[in-house]
Structure 1
C-alpha cells in the first residue's frame, strides 16, 4: 500500500530536488487526494449522465454538449488529485499519449465551438462521440497492453 501511495503522490524512489520537497511538504494528504478524486470523478459521471438525459429534451443538444464536456473535464481533473497537476500534464503529453491527448482536447474545444459559435448541433454531437472515443483511447494508455488488446480485438472483428 505504501508503494501505491508513493506512486500516486508522485514520490518515486529517485531523490527529490529542493523544489519538489517544498511542494511535497505543502501537498494534500493521501486520504484527501483520494476523497477529492472520488468527488471529481463522480461529478464528471453525473454531468455526463445529466447531459445525456438533457439530450432528449427539445433544444437539449446545446445542454448535452456543455454538460458532457464538463463531465469529461471533471473526470480528467480528478486524476490531478491522485498524481498532482504537474505530473498529470507531463504524463498527458508523453509520446505514447500525445496524439490521444491532442485529439481529446481539440474535441473538447470544438464541441463547445460547434454549439455556441457555429450553431451546428449535429457537429457538436459528432465531436461528443469523438470526445468519448479519444478519452477512452487516452484512458487505455494507462493500462499496460490495453491498447494492443483493443486493436487485436477490433482487427479480429473486422476480418
Structure 2
C-alpha cells in the first residue's frame, strides 16, 4: 500500500486530488472480470450442442435481447450429414434450446442449397435436433454435433471433391 504525505494544510483538497487521481488512473482496484465463455460453451449452457458451430469461429456477440452474431474470418463449408455452408457472419435469436431466425447458414439437400431458418432441440433426451430448412423440417442425430467441426474455405472443399471424383466431376 502506498502512503502519501502532504505539506498542504488543507486535507480536503488533498482528498479531492486522490479521488480524481483514482478515477483517472488506468489501474483499477476491482478484480478483473472473467473472459466470456467460448461460443461452444455458450451453446451448451443454452441447451444446444457445442458442435453446432465450427471450430473456426473467431468471435461472437450476444445482446441482451438474445440476438447472437457469430463471426468467422471467411465463408466456409463443413459436413454433418450433408454439406453445410457458413457465411462469414451468422445471426440468430438465441433462447434455451433454439436458434430462431437464422441468417448466414445453408444446408445442401438433393443438390440444392437451402437456408436454415431455425435450429431446435425440443428434448435433449430424444437425441434429435430439428433443422427448419424452409420447405421441410429435418431431424438429425445430436451425436453429429458432439464436437465443433473444422470448416474449410469454399474453394478448397470444391477442389478436393473434383480431385476425388476425377474426370467425372469435370463434365
Superposition TM-score tier, normalisation by shorter sequence: under 0.3
Structure with the higher helix share, 1 or 2: 1
When normalised by structure 1's length, the TM-score is 0.28
- Structure (1 or 2) with the larger CA radius of gyration: 2
When normalised by structure 2's length, the TM-score is 0.27
Higher-RCO chain (CA-CA 8 Å, sequence separation at least 6): 1
Structure with the higher strand share, 1 or 2: 2
